[in-house]
Amino acid sequence: MEITDDKLLKIALITSLIGIIGLIIFTPSIEVKKVDIKDISRAMVDEKVCIDGVITDIAQSSSKTNYFLTINDGESQITLIVFEKQVAEIQSKNLDIENFKNRKVEVTGTIAEYKSDLELILSSGDSLRIVN
């Protein structure tokens, strides 16, 4: 059996379509790992995680565009960084960052290290949710 350019193109196309369909089917089932703040370590840098806690402090950057939220889960705390883009997404839903203070939240973000401190970078404006 001779493989022609036409047959090779069809095989590549079918394989690509199967891969794309597989991604569409399995992507919604991929969940972000839920962790306690005390369990976050340097080995987890660049990993996407979900945490629960109460926002105990809110501070603005000197440029007034970014926010630093302290999240405490009763055992440990971590700083959540909310960049200008995410602030705009939150405000577009008629919410103010200050409304989150002293509220229990669920946050999805990426662990980062800055000046030897571990931080959580908010994934999107939808990744910061008040929970009851």
- Measured distance CA(3)–CA(7) in Å, rounded: 6
Same domain, 57 and 41: yes
Per residue of the chain (132 residues), give pLDDT as tens: 687 889 999 999 999 999 999 888 877 666 788 999 999 999 999 999 999 999 999 999 988 889 999 999 999 999 999 999 999 999 998 888 888 999 999 999 999 999 999 999 999 888 999 887
Same domain, 47 and 12: no
Burial bucket for residue 80 (CB in 10 Å: 0-12, 13-18, 19+): buried
CATH code, domain with 110: 2.40.50.140
Enter the pTM of the model. Answer: 0.75
Domain carrying residue 17 = 1-30
